[in-house]
Structure 1
């Protein structure tokens, strides 16, 4: 995402003021996604030695809610509690279509009117989409829901990326993807040294960024209606080192080259050669980040006849040359605007209308840890 695309009117940046997040738990939400989102916030507080973030878990009526693994979770409060929230994060899971109520929708729309940042993890994007709060926003959701959410809410700009940050919306696909999204948001708010420290504490080797993609099985995009197209793509995926000619691909599945091109244009919105090239480049990106293979070797195993041609194609696709990708150099500035600090609340006792945040309790316990305040912030 380019600097021009990202305008974040509620990012606090390097403020000393803790940001408050409300995690709205839908029925059958996934615990791994919730933990992946909250744990980086806890560790940010611990490493900084002060409260950078506080959070509350919320449900529609304040009653316990069942997670997708059958565990009952007791929330901190009802979503109608008078909390001073900066961010609202919807936590979805199994069958989000059946977990979102009219009351959820109205409450989320009210949060939007109060200019709060809105986010979603796993399938929580469905709730924001149903509330009309993701129209014309780039959005990530778990790959199982891509086809259904696109059909239900066509104004959403869907992407297969692990997570998306677009202006005042942030969405993650699920599983451990919220961890990467939060690490990126923390790096923006408080610096890369802090997010790197969190990664080390979680034994997390590589913080993924917005360009990393979900591995989406094509059958979940197309269904079973286009078996020949699925077969062609499978052939492409099996022949990355020595790419097949389009005429060969067409003959293997008994279609003409013209039919082959029509299938790709209609269902995948690109030419067969373009799709094939993208498959090879995505594979190259994985090898660059996950193996010690040289750039020359990677170019060869991904079907490129020369390293300069590989580098040119890679830069055009990902906006960064392979060498910089390998070194972890990211030239795109992802954020543009900051807002004035909020009123100082660090160390303040909760008001009679506001329940105590578990962040303060976790921070108090963490004071005995050797890592407490190990990443001082300016």
Structure 2
């Protein structure tokens, strides 16, 4: 996780003054992410016994916005008013984007303009889940590291090639906050509280929220099959990470054994004990899952997807894909994303 703190971003906020946070809501935003953020702020105020944080919700025209779960949330201001705040004492210290506007619409252009104005005025910016794409569209993530939800990662990397996207819980790079959404929003805002209010207040927020554990930003979002199989052996985790970094390569059992510093037989035993399958079979499952996401999210030809997922030919890829998913790759592409 990268931390490059700009002193200018916080210098204008005395320690006794509350931080103002503006939260932009786009249609279909994730309610869990928003509620996690607001509850961290509320609990931080309670733990600090003062108003450490203030916040306001913003939408394009000031209208109420419907979340992905169907609940409608009122907005306190429209984006035109929020853009005027950038030049006034009411300006936020941090601007967060919850959800992403549709491409090529006026909403996207205005949102991008606001985010760039915030950067020019040394206002911190951030995004949750699909809101990270809004930061990328505005050009804020060029040559920056950001956290992207694992499921959206293939399409995000294809579209925003200048970003250093990671499947970590959250990232903070040059006052740009990004996270995968969901409960990762809670973890990231705990870090914000820690930076502004100190570690004791951040710990108190976790206790008040009955959080069993607050994750660090550079932790992995996901370990496949972890729920089914419990705690994995650290060597297995290490080798899974190696596989995920080399989905387009041909990792052999010799490569895995060398990386683990074990014999091939020992690596085989660890995988069968923890995951009930051989390393080679598990590696193929990871490749096919990555291929499925690329088919659903991108327009790449099947041959390019096969190569990107480490298969020697389109025919070999199609055979493996059909065996696993009972459907050919070209047929899978015609299905709605949620069915695939």
TM-score, scaled to structure 1 = 0.57
CA contact (8 A) 2:25 2:98 kept: yes
Picking from 196, 201, 226, the partner of 1:194 is 201
Aligned to 1:328: none
- How many residue pairs get aligned? The number is 247
Aligned to 2:145: 138
Shift of 1:116: 0.8
Cα deviation digits, residues 147-181 of structure 1 (max 9, x gap): 11111110111111100011210111111101001
Q: Kindly report which structure 2 residues correspond to 1:81-100, keeping only aligned pairs within 5 A, or say none.
A: 81=81, 82-83=84-85, 84-92=91-99, 97=103
Aligned to 1:11: 10
What are structure 2's unaligned runs of at least 5 residues? 86-90, 226-231, 262-268, 273-340
CA contact (8 A) 2:27 2:66 kept: yes
Q: Aligned partners of 2:248 and 2:191: how far apart in 1?
A: 33
CA contact (8 A) 1:264 1:270 kept: no
Q: Aligned partners of 2:190 and 2:66: how far apart in 1?
A: 27
Cα deviation digits, residues 303-362 of structure 1 (max 9, x gap): 9xxxxxxxxxxxxxxxxxxxxxxxxxxxxxxxxxxxxxxxxxxxxxxxxxxxxxxxxxxx
Aligned to 2:46: 46
Aligned to 1:66: 66
Q: Aligned partners of 1:209 and 1:32: how far apart in 2?
A: 19
Q: Kindly report which structure 2 residues correspond to 1:182-221, keeping only aligned pairs within 5 A, or say none.
A: 182-215=189-222
Aligned to 2:160: 153
Q: Aligned partners of 2:243 and 2:36: how far apart in 1?
A: 42
What are structure 1's unaligned runs of at least 5 residues? 219-238, 247-260, 281-299, 304-378
Alignment partner of 1:168 is 2:175: yes
TM-score, scaled to structure 2 = 0.63
Q: Give me the CA root mean square deviation.
A: 3.8
Greater CA drift, 119-128 or 270-279: 270-279
Picking from 123, 126, 148, the partner of 1:119 is 126
Q: Aligned partners of 2:180 and 2:168: how far apart in 1?
A: 8
Note closer, same or farther for the CA distance 1:267–1:79 as it changes in structure 2 (3 Å cut): same
Aligned to 1:20: 20
Cα deviation digits, residues 87-113 of structure 1 (max 9, x gap): 1000017x8658862221222222222
Q: Aligned partners of 2:244 and 2:206: how far apart in 1?
A: 43
Note closer, same or farther for the CA distance 1:151–1:161 as it changes in structure 2 (3 Å cut): same
Q: Aligned partners of 1:263 and 1:144: how far apart in 2?
A: 13
Note closer, same or farther for the CA distance 1:137–1:165 as it changes in structure 2 (3 Å cut): same
Relative to its length, the structure with more helix (as a share) is 2
The runs of at least 4 consecutive aligned structure 1 residues that moved more than 4 Å come to 95-100, 239-243, 261-266, 268-280, 300-303
Q: Aligned partners of 1:130 and 1:70: how far apart in 2?
A: 26
Q: Aligned partners of 2:25 and 2:250: how far apart in 1?
A: 36
Q: Kindly report which structure 2 residues correspond to 1:1-378, keeping only aligned pairs within 5 A, or say none.
A: 1=1, 6-9=4-7, 10-11=9-10, 15-81=15-81, 82-83=84-85, 84-92=91-99, 97=103, 101-215=108-222, 267=248
Greater CA drift, 163-172 or 14-23: 14-23
Shift of 1:8: 2.7
Q: Aligned partners of 2:63 and 2:43: how far apart in 1?
A: 28
